[in-house]
Amino acid sequence: MYERTMKALQRLNYIFIIFFLIGGCKAPENKVTENENSIEIIVSCGDDSNLERYINEGWTIKQEYSEEKVCSWTTVAASKDCNLEKDKGCKIVKPDKIGEEKFYLLEK
């Protein structure tokens, strides 16, 4: 029975590692891509953007959509009897804060 529990925890650990690799560990970004008459603004995890500045300059929002994104990660013990300082194999990484990544397509 103990082996079955350890295998389940090991699978859970792999799942968290995959989420970590997919989500990445980048800092929140505010990316602006400019074309002649269109701009794409990406706002991650509630980071402040200059969207109002562009709207005041005469840009209009043509398209807006959002996706869920992991903003930060935390390391926790895989079980109650796990010692994080001594047992490196019992650490798992899980999402700490989940936010939104918003995409705005602006046109002049």
pLDDT tens-digit map of 83-94: 888 887 888 899
Please give the model's pTM, rounded to 2 decimal places. Answer: 0.53
Number of domains, the chain: 1
Three-class SS of residue 8?
helix
pLDDT tens-digit map of 6-60: 777 777 677 767 666 666 545 445 455 555 688 888 888 877 677 888 888 888 9
Domain coverage including residue 14: 2-107
Give residue 73's identity as a one-letter amino acid code. W
Residue 39 parent element (H or E): strand 38-44
* CB half-sphere exposure, 65, CA atoms < 13 A: 2
Q: Check if the beta carbon of residue 93 is closer than 8 Å to that of residue 13.
A: no
Q: Check if the beta carbon of residue 5 is closer than 8 Å to that of residue 12.
A: no
